[in-house]
Amino acid sequence: MKNQEGFTAIEIMVVGAILGVLTIMAFGLMNSQMDHYRLNTAARELISSMRKDAQIAVTRNANRTITFTDNAAPVSDRYNLGDGTPVPLPVGIFFGVSGGGAPGNGTIDVGGVAIGGAPFTFGGNDVTFQTNRTPDEAGEVYLTNARGENIAISVNLVGRVRCWRWGGAAWLNC
């Protein structure tokens, strides 16, 4: 009998199984990273929207109010810009805090303001930027994802908008 070159069916199935396991592992890692990126994107977009509405209030000499809506699943949480445009949060991103040791379990000091675990600390779930770019009150908005990562976006009384990431024991500047 001649020497035959090639692979047996068993060899091909073993290689296929190994590739399948590697693909599943890579997909799982990529999926969990997507939650992280979606949270960061949502925070950046909200910060940008707040800063833009504050500037529009100055430019147009008219107050601008951003309203936050904390909906029950499966409806996405969203916020409305000063002109009424609704902006939904990305899939898997919600207002509030989650995870063990998250700020909802106590009060944390962010930039000199004591905050707790409510999704928003602005009265009436909105913030109004006045014609001098300052908000009507200081407060925070919390964003979270399925991985238990938390971001707080704070607005102080002079209108500075900042981002804070929960580091497990303290809020860290984003």
Are 155 and 57 spatial neighbours (Cβ–Cβ below 8 Å)? no
Structure pTM?
0.74
Are 126 and 65 spatial neighbours (Cβ–Cβ below 8 Å)? yes
**4 is a domain residue:** no
Are 144 and 133 spatial neighbours (Cβ–Cβ below 8 Å)? no
Residue with tokens 């804070």: 164
Q: Are strands 93-95 and 139-145 parallel, antiparallel or unpaired?
A: antiparallel
Indicate the pLDDT class of residue 151, thresholds 50, 70 and 90. Answer: very high
Domain count, the chain: 1
Domain span at residue 151 reads 9-173
> How many CB atoms are located within 10 Å of the residue 131 CB?
13
**3 is a domain residue:** no
**What are 23-35's pLDDT values in tens digits?**
888 777 777 788 8
pLDDT at 106: 40
pLDDT at 103: 43
**2 is a domain residue:** no
Domain at 156, CATH number:
3.55.40.10
